[in-house]
Amino acid sequence: MLCVSVVLSMTTWFSATAVTPELKAAWALTDGQVAWMTNGVQIGFVIGALASSLVNLPDIVQLNRLMAVASILAAVVNAMLLLEPSAPVAVLCRFLTGLSLAAVYPPALKLVSTWFIRNRGLALGAIVGALTLGSSMPHLFRAVTQQIDWHLVIALSSVASLTAGISFFLFAKEGPHPFGRAVFNPRQIGRVLKDRDLLLVNIGYFGHMWELYAMWAWLLVFVRTALDDKVSLAHTSLITFLAVGSGLFGCIAGGLLSDRFGRTATTAGFMIVSGLCALLIGFAFNGPIWLVVLIAIVWGVSIIGDSPLFSAAVTELCDRDFVGTALCLQMGLGFALTVFVIWLIPQIAALAGSWHWTFIFLAPGPMVGAWAMLTLRRSPSAVKLAGGRR
């Protein structure tokens, strides 16, 4: 029930991104304004996550009630886009959406962990998989809408998030293994930054985040440009849904593999594959449809499969006195990085005059991340990971 609720609530994250071409035409948006429609969510999420940690919001409010209210708020501010506000107000709505979702996603990770001691990697993978599937759902809404009416996509995502709020309130309960208080303490940041093993985990996470949200945000535009004369607009949305949504299987596989074979080996493997996809998809730009789809789906599976493992690694390597600080620092800096990359990618496409080779600039991120995790694998402290499975 928790995973289903997360799927429904996270539909608001990329609701506007899924209808980028329609919003750009209907509202006469510039490329920069379109980028900020997505970046507004990212910035809101970063600020919301850090703010909720500073005041210990997940410890003050019951997790299911916190997630219920936040999901309903996300539904309301997402629905405000139906009023066709000015570009600045629309970006503000997207910011408030991200702010709301910051009280859904991190608490969901914490809540599901209270039900699992063994196989926690798989459990966290299921939640991140739910986030992935939810993020891809607006593309499915768009694909099945005959006239590709952006109003319907926004409305459906708001209804889904509202339903999630009710579900969180009724069914999301804390498990038998509760955590202590996870406090964000700015004075502990120095300790986190000086810890070599945590630094390597964070470098891996930053490499992962360099690639992830930029691919999710701009894959629809890339596919539409590459296959413009070969498939319909609805089919490009369906391809994007399949690519992003297939990450669900990557998350489950990542959790299973990391619990069995180790955190560092699994994360490095996923990042090497996703980095290669970032390099290769440009070569398929003018190729057959099946090749673009195949690379996009493999990329979608590999790009997210390692995501929950970075948080798991922090909880296993970090001193329990500053786990909260370490996790908030990792997530805050990682999502802040996505703001820059989401803005950068269309700038590169504009300078090059084409989206053909744009995604190649995402490849260095996962490659550096894989190096960091393989370096961590040689550290004596790596035996703390996954019960001794490096």
- pLDDT at residue 388 above 60? no
Reply yes or no on whether the pLDDT at 323 is more than 70: no
Nearest to 329 by CA among 213, 207, 131, 188: 188
CB of 366 closer than 8 Å to CB of 279:
no
What's the pLDDT at 79?
A: 94
Mean pLDDT of 75-98: 91
Q: What is the pLDDT of residue 184?
A: 61
Which pLDDT does position 254 carry in this prediction?
Answer: 84
Mean pLDDT of 31-60: 80
Residue 308: how many other CB atoms lie within 10 Å? 26
pLDDT value at residue 348: 92
Percentage with pLDDT > 70 across the chain: 88
Query: What is the average pLDDT across 246-269?
Result: 85
What is the mean predicted confidence (pLDDT) over 105-123?
A: 76
Given this model, what pLDDT does residue 383 score? 66
What is the reported pLDDT for 185? 65
DSSP 11: G
Q: Which of 36-45, 138-147, 169-178 has the highest mean pLDDT?
A: 36-45
Q: Is the pLDDT of residue 100 over 80?
A: yes
Number of other residues whose CB lies within 10 A of the CB of residue 86 = 9
pLDDT value for 286: 83
All structural domains of the chain:
1-177 (1.20.1250.20), 188-390 (1.20.1250.20)
Q: How far apart are CA 350 and CA 45, in angstroms?
A: 27
**Dihedral of alpha carbons 265, 268, 272, 277, sign:** positive
pLDDT of residue 287: 79
The answer to pTM > 0.95 is: no
Q: How far is 159 from 179, CA to CA, in rounded Å?
A: 32
- Tens digits of residue pLDDT in 350-372: 898 888 899 999 999 999 999 99
Mean of the pLDDT values across residues 275-296?
91
Q: Which two tokens stand for residue 77?
A: 């501010």
Cα–Cα distance measured from residue 72 to residue 159, given in angstroms and rounded to the nearest whole number:
9
Helix and strand tally (H, E) in the chain?
Answer: 18, 0
User: Mean pLDDT lowest for which of 119-123, 186-190, 222-226, 274-278?
Assistant: 186-190
Predicted pLDDT of residue 61: 75
Average confidence score pLDDT of the chain: 83
pLDDT surpassing 80 at residue 264: yes
User: What pLDDT was estimated at residue 320?
Assistant: 63
Among residues of the chain, what percentage have pLDDT more than 90?
26
pLDDT value at 278 more than 70: yes
3-class SS of residue 277: helix
For range 62-78, the mean pLDDT: 91
Can you give the pLDDT at residue 382?
61
Between 43 and 232, the higher pLDDT residue? 43
